[in-house]
């Protein structure tokens, strides 16, 4: 599992989906970047944090049967690549849905869940997963 | 306790995990007739959290929806109080994680409350005081739990998971919190010592001198202070550790089955502890009309009750605009699981022996 300082630094993007947008070319990035790889120098100090709306749709998905031990209570579980309304793509678990009901293009929304824990005595890691929504 | 200035509910929402287990399936494992137990408790099924759900995730989802209904931004939240007896950490406030997940940090006050099943209504009272005194604009009061009974204990048939969040503020209210009062004693009906996973309870001591005494006395005190009686309320919501207690208390105080029915969720989802009264009130608000009056009395072991006199405003009609699911919609999504899946989810099988 990741060390605590790194998790803590990334709390904003994990909990709320905070990305960054290049004010030069309007391109959005998640995770947030300090420099836009396309505009490079022109984007320096010109990147602004932007909060993702949390809604998107499934691009691809797969069911994982032999998970990493920290997820073994959830096995099997579904991982998906989700294209957010803002155009960026995120990878995350799909919850509250069975594999046979998942399809590409399915509308989903981010919801906060436990991602894992350091150990039985350690820190609990929270972050977004996705669940299906109507419309 | 009457607020100095008008204060009330600007938004609310609840969340209940979708997994359910039936008393019959719990009883089978322990060689008991679970169906008889369930009938006795008037519980048909209870909710079970997924392994990745806890009080933080339940509180966050409910608060997010409540904010949508209140139509307020995260920087308008000045206080968050989370009432629970199953906070994920013994030391490290749930409220800090919920606040961060709502992007309401850092300029707000936050704390966790504990008072068995009435920690959520205690959070209501704190927010009422802070708002009506003018110290804050909006506060979030949350009651949520993922409680557990020891394997084989009678509590295992009822302990469930769920919660609800309320945005308490002034102006544009969905419902006015007109009056509140409390009744508190030192009663050893139920407890859990620090470091222990499961609670202990005083057996027969839990009914008459605990639940009924506090709920009845607190409600009657509210009647006395407001000059109202059961006939002045359209609905009533009582704490519901099982299906029997709230029905019996309601009858004793003078409420009809019709008045308590909309807020009685225990039969389908079990006892959600700190979440029970907030969820019951949410379900009642879901179907209330402008001008309706709602009486609420919570109960927490140890012991105490909080009562509230609530009046629904015409704004209640607007909540349908905000695509937030009703309690009925949330609890109708259910997936039944076996005891072995339940034990895996709830970590009742301990590999290391703890
Ligand atoms: Zn750029």
Peptide bond into A31 cis (omega under 30): yes
A62 and A113 co-located in one domain: yes
Q: Which ipTM score applies to this complex? A: 0.89
- pLDDT confidence bin for B354, thresholds 50/70/90: very low
- pLDDT confidence bin for B207, thresholds 50/70/90: confident
* pLDDT of A21 higher than 50: yes
* pLDDT of A1 higher than 60: no
Q: What is the mean pLDDT of residues A32-36?
A: 91
- pLDDT confidence bin for B352, thresholds 50/70/90: very low
* pLDDT of A4 higher than 80: no
- Closest Cα to residue B219, out of B233, B202, B205, B204? B233
Beta-carbon separation of A126 and B344 below 8 A: no
**Are β-strands B8-15 and B175-184 bridged in parallel, bridged antiparallel, or unpaired?**
antiparallel
- Closest Cα to residue B59, out of B97, B103, B105, B11? B97
A43 and A81 co-located in one domain: no
- pLDDT confidence bin for B208, thresholds 50/70/90: confident
* Burial category of A118 from C-beta neighbours within 10 Å (exposed 0-12, middle 13-18, buried 19 and up): middle
The rounded distance, in Å, linking the Cα atoms of B149 and B256 is: 31
Beta-carbon separation of A114 and B57 below 8 A: yes
Q: When comparing pLDDT for A120 and B260, which is higher?
A: B260
DSSP-assigned beta bridge partners for residue B310: B177, B294
* Burial category of B315 from C-beta neighbours within 10 Å (exposed 0-12, middle 13-18, buried 19 and up): middle
Task: Tell me whether residue B117 is one of the annotated catalytic residues.
Answer: yes
Whether the CB-CB separation of B119 and B58 falls below 8 Å is answered with no
Q: What is the mean pLDDT of residues B127-147?
A: 97
Task: Tell me whether residue B329 is one of the annotated catalytic residues.
Answer: no
Residue indicated by tokens 């959290």? B49
Cβ-nearest to A126 among B51, B97, B103 = B97
Beta-carbon separation of B344 and A73 below 8 A: yes
A99 and A128 co-located in one domain: yes
Q: When comparing pLDDT for A114 and A118, which is higher?
A: A114
- Quick one: pLDDT at residue B76? 96
Beta-carbon separation of B100 and A11 below 8 A: yes
Q: What is the mean pLDDT of residues B117-128?
A: 96
A92 and A61 co-located in one domain: yes
Helix (H) or strand (E) segment spanning residue A20: strand A18-22
Residue A46: domain span: 18-51
* pLDDT of B14 higher than 90: yes
Mean confidence (pLDDT) of chain B? 93
Contacts within 8 Å (CB) and 24+ apart, B231-234: B232/B293, B233/B259, B233/B293, B233/B294, B233/B295, B234/B259, B234/B288, B234/B292, B234/B293, B234/B294
The rounded distance, in Å, linking the Cα atoms of B222 and B287 is: 24
Cβ-nearest to B345 among A11, A73, A93 = A73
Task: Out of B117, B127, B181, B218, pick the active-site residue.
Answer: B117
Domain of A107, CATH number, reads: 2.40.50.840
pLDDT > 70: percent of chain A: 86
Task: Tell me whether residue B218 is one of the annotated catalytic residues.
Answer: no
- Quick one: pLDDT at residue A19? 85
- Quick one: pLDDT at residue B344? 86
* pLDDT of B226 higher than 80: yes
A35 and A65 co-located in one domain: no
A63 and A122 co-located in one domain: yes
The rounded distance, in Å, linking the Cα atoms of B327 and B316 is: 15
Substitution target in B16, B88, B101 with the highest count of A β-carbons within 10 Å is: B101
Q: What is the mean pLDDT of residues B98-104?
A: 93
Report residue A109: phi and psi, to 5°. Answer: -140, 150
Q: Which 8-state DSSP code applies to residue B115?
A: B
Nearest residue of A to residue B323 by CA position? A134
- Quick one: pLDDT at residue A71? 55
CB pairs under 8 A between A and B: 50
* pLDDT of B279 higher than 50: yes
* pLDDT of B353 higher than 60: no
- Quick one: pLDDT at residue B282? 98
Task: Out of B87, B179, B214, B239, pick the active-site residue.
Answer: B239
- Quick one: pLDDT at residue B199? 83
Neighbouring C-beta atoms of residue B310, cutoff 10 Å: 25
Whether the CB-CB separation of A74 and B50 falls below 8 Å is answered with yes
Task: Report the separation in Å between the CA atom of A87 and the middle of ligand 1, taken as the mean of its atom positions.
Answer: 15
The rounded distance, in Å, linking the Cα atoms of A71 and A54 is: 23
pLDDT > 70: percent of chain B: 97
A23 and A66 co-located in one domain: no
- pLDDT confidence bin for A69, thresholds 50/70/90: low
* B8-353 CATH: 3.40.47.10
- Quick one: pLDDT at residue B241? 94
Q: What is the mean pLDDT of residues B54-71?
A: 97
- Quick one: pLDDT at residue B192? 86
SS3 for A9? helix
SS3 for A94? strand
pLDDT > 90: percent of chain A: 52
The rounded distance, in Å, linking the Cα atoms of B114 and B100 is: 21
Q: How many domains does chain A have?
A: 2
Cβ-nearest to A112 among B51, B60, B88 = B60
A62 and A125 co-located in one domain: yes
A59 and A117 co-located in one domain: yes
Neighbouring C-beta atoms of residue A15, cutoff 10 Å: 22
Beta-carbon separation of B89 and A111 below 8 A: no
pLDDT tens-digit series, residues B290-304: 999 999 999 999 999
A83 and A29 co-located in one domain: no
A30 and A78 co-located in one domain: no
The residues whose Cβ lies within 5 A of ligand 1, an ion, are A 22, 24-25, 36, 38-39, 43
CA distance readout (Å), B265 to B96, B97, B317, B345: 29, 28, 23, 23
Whether the CB-CB separation of A97 and A78 falls below 8 Å is answered with yes
SS3 for B13? strand
Q: What is the mean pLDDT of residues A105-117?
A: 93
Q: What is the mean pLDDT of residues A96-114?
A: 94
A83 and A115 co-located in one domain: yes
- Quick one: pLDDT at residue B342? 92
- pLDDT confidence bin for A68, thresholds 50/70/90: low
Domain ranges within chain B, ordered by starting residue: 8-353
């Amino acid at each position: 599992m990741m060390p605590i300082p790194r998790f803590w630094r990334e709390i904003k993007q994990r909990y709320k989906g905070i990305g960054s947008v290049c004010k030069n070319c309007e391109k959005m990035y998640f995770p947030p970047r300090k420099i836009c790889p396309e505009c490079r120098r022109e984007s320096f100090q010109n990147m602004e944090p932007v909060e993702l709306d949390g809604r998107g749709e499934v691009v691809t998905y797969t069911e994982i049967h032999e998970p990493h031990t920290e997820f073994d209570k959830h096995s099997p579980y579904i991982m998906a690549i989700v294209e957010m309304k803002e155009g960026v793509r995120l990878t995350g678990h799909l919850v509250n849905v069975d594999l046979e009901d998942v399809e590409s293009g399915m509308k989903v929304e981010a919801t906060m869940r436990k991602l894992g824990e350091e150990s039985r005595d350690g820190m609990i890691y929270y972050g977004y997963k996705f669940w299906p929504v109507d419309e | 306790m009457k607020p100095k200035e008008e204060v009330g509910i600007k938004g609310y929402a609840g969340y209940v995990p979708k997994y359910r287990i039936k008393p019959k399936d719990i009883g089978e494992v322990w060689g008991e007739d679970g169906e008889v137990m369930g009938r006795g408790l008037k519980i048909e099924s209870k909710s079970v959290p997924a392994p990745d759900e806890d009080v933080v995730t339940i509180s966050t989802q409910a608060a997010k929806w409540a904010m949508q209904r209140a139509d307020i931004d995260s920087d308008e939240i000045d206080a968050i109080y989370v009432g629970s007896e199953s906070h994920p950490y013994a030391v490290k406030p749930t409220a800090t994680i919920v606040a961060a997940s709502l992007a309401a940090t850092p300029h707000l006050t936050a704390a966790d409350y504990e008072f068995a099943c009435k920690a959520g209504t205690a959070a209501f009272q704190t927010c009422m005081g802070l708002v009506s005194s003018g110290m804050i604009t909006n506060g979030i009061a949350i009651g949520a739990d993922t409680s557990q009974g020891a394997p084989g204990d009678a509590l295992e048939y009822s302990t469930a998971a769920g919660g609800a969040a309320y945005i308490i503020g002034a102006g544009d209210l969905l419902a006015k919190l007109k009056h509140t009062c409390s009744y508190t004693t030192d009663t050893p009906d139920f407890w859990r010592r620090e470091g222990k996973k499961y609670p202990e309870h005083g057996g027969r001591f839990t009914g008459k001198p605990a639940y009924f005494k506090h709920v009845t006395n607190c409600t009657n005190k509210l009647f006395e202070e407001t000059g109202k009686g059961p006939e002045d309320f359209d609905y009533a919501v009582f704490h519901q550790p099982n299906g029997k207690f709230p029905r019996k208390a309601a009858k004793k105080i003078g409420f009809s089955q019709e008045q308590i029915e909309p807020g009685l969720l225990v039969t389908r989802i079990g006892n959600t502890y700190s979440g029970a009264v907030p969820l019951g009130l949410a379900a009642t608000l879901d179907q209330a009309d402008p001008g309706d009056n709602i009486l609420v009395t919570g109960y927490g072991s140890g012991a105490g009750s909080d009562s509230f006199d609530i009046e629904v405003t015409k704004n209640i009609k607007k909540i349908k605009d905000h695509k937030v699911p009703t309690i009925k919609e949330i609890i109708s999504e259910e997936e039944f699981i076996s005891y072995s899946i339940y034990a895996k989810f709830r970590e009742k099988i301990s590999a290391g022996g703890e």
